[in-house]
Amino acid sequence: MSRAFNFSPGPAMLPEPVLRQAQAEMLDWHGVGASIVELSHRGPEFIGVAAEAEADLRKLVGIPDDYAVLFLQGGATAQQALVALNFAEPGQAADYVISGHWGKTAIKQVKPYVDARIAATSEADGFRNIPDPSTWRLSDDAAYVHITANETIHGVEFRDTPKVGTVPLFADFSSSIASEPLDVSKYGLIYAGAQKNLGPVGIAVVIVRRELLERAGQPRADIFDYRSHLKGESMLNTPPTWNWYLAGLTFKWMLAEGGVQEFARRNAQKSKMLYAAIDGSGGFYRNEVDPAVRSRMNVPFFLYDEALDKAFLKESAAAGLMALKGHRALGGMRASIYNAMPVEGVQALVDFMRDFRERHG
């Protein structure tokens, strides 16, 4: 068996030790005679797994006690809709800063519920930038300001937390959570689908300042109510136990590797290596994002002649470098280099890119 270096944007590469542990525990979890995924979510075994996952995530990300943590289904997209139902009155203003594709999906999800306003957008610039916060048109009466911390497709990442005054800042951290230290207290709410940095697809994490849960929000079913989920310990209905368990193993792995400080170091090193290979290629490869906001997680790049794309993908796959094809909205290539991607994987990619350029340049 040989595992490739997998540059998939998500579902993404998981740490091998996590997969091995899941494999070892698959048939008989901790001697109970069954897999964890065959046990009741209300039994002591799974309750323990869930509680440990929350404690580990709190430690990993540095989540203060006055923030609640929810583990939910529906992916990041469901949270994009639910934030309006839970925190805005019907038709209330909500401000969105759009720096890529996922900011656009976020605003689309809330259109039925709020007066969704584009406070700023870099679309005219092809999402190669983040609009300067001094130019944002923020509304005093907004329920919240929403940003996408890292745009997975366009490869654009906020490098500082913007100041938005007294209106709470909500952020989609799906593709960058736990990749570096984060001051949670600057945000009202953070959400993330797990399938990039936190583990498998099928579970999403919501981190919310508890006092915001006192807002009335809008008429909604219990299952769409964050307060009810908190009261029910994220088990209002049968939760995705397997996904939650795998995420928990991934949190433990990240803590054992040195936590977010260590991942910040590795991620800085990996992204620097890759951008240097692109920028130093004499135009053979190019990344068009403003260097000040280039993503450390997702690196889109183009070959100088797109006729070479097919050969690049075929030869990279043959070299054990998987899933480098860019998103269909942009074309070209994209390397997603989340926490589970080792430095050696990026080194292998950079070596391949040099070799490919020498043969085709």
- Of 271, 265, 274, 298, the C-alpha closest to 351 is 274
Closest approach, Cβ 206 to ligand PMP, in A, equals 12
Active site includes 172? yes
Query: Which entry of 29, 56, 102, 104 is annotated as an active-site residue?
Result: 102
- One DSSP character per residue, 270-321 reads HHHHHHHHHHTSTTSEE--S-GGGB-SSEEEEEESSGGGHHHHHHHHHHTTE
DSSP structure string for 131-199: --GGG----TT-S-EEEESEETTTTEE-SSPPP-TTSPEEEE-TTTTTSS---GGG-SEEEEESTTTTS
Task: Output 325 or 357, the one with its CB closest to ligand PMP.
Answer: 325
The footprint of ligand PMP on residues 99-128 (CB under 6 A) is 102
102 is known as an active-site residue = yes
| 157 near ligand PMP, judged by CB under 6 A | no
| Subset of residues 163 to 222 that bind ligand PMP, contact rule: CB under 6 A | 172, 174-175, 193
The residue of the chain with the least Cβ separation from ligand PMP equals: 75
- Asked if 130 contacts 99 with a C-beta cutoff of 8 angstroms, the reply is yes
CB 87 within 8 A of CB 224: no
Does 76 appear as a known binding residue? yes
- With beta carbons less than 8 A apart as the criterion, state whether 160 and 187 touch: no
Q: Which of 29, 56, 95, 172 is catalytic?
A: 172
Site map for ligand PMP, 2-31, x if CB under 6 A? Answer: --------x---------------------
Nearer to ligand PMP, 175 or 267 (CB): 175
Is 77 near ligand PMP (CB under 6 A)?
Answer: yes
Binds ligand PMP (CB under 6 A): choice among 109, 148, 241, 243 = 148
Element (H or E) spanning 17, and its range? Answer: helix 16-25
Structure tokens at 333: 């290539």
State phi, psi for 180 to the nearest 5 degrees.
Answer: -165, 165
Residue closer to ligand PMP by CB (options 104, 357) is 104
Q: Does 152 engage in binding with ligand PMP (CB under 6 A)? A: yes
Q: Which residues within the stretch 232-271 sit at the binding site for ligand PMP (CB under 6 A)?
A: none
39 or 326: CB nearest ligand PMP:
326
User: Of these residues, 104, 196, 270, 325, which one is catalytic?
Assistant: 196
CA distance 85 to 216: 9
- Provide, rounded to whole angstroms, the least separation between the CB of residue 75 and ligand PMP: 3
Pairing label, strands 5-6, 321-322: parallel
Residues that bind ligand PMP (CB under 6 A): 10, 75-77, 102, 148, 152, 172, 174-175, 193
- Could you list the active site residues? 102, 172, 196
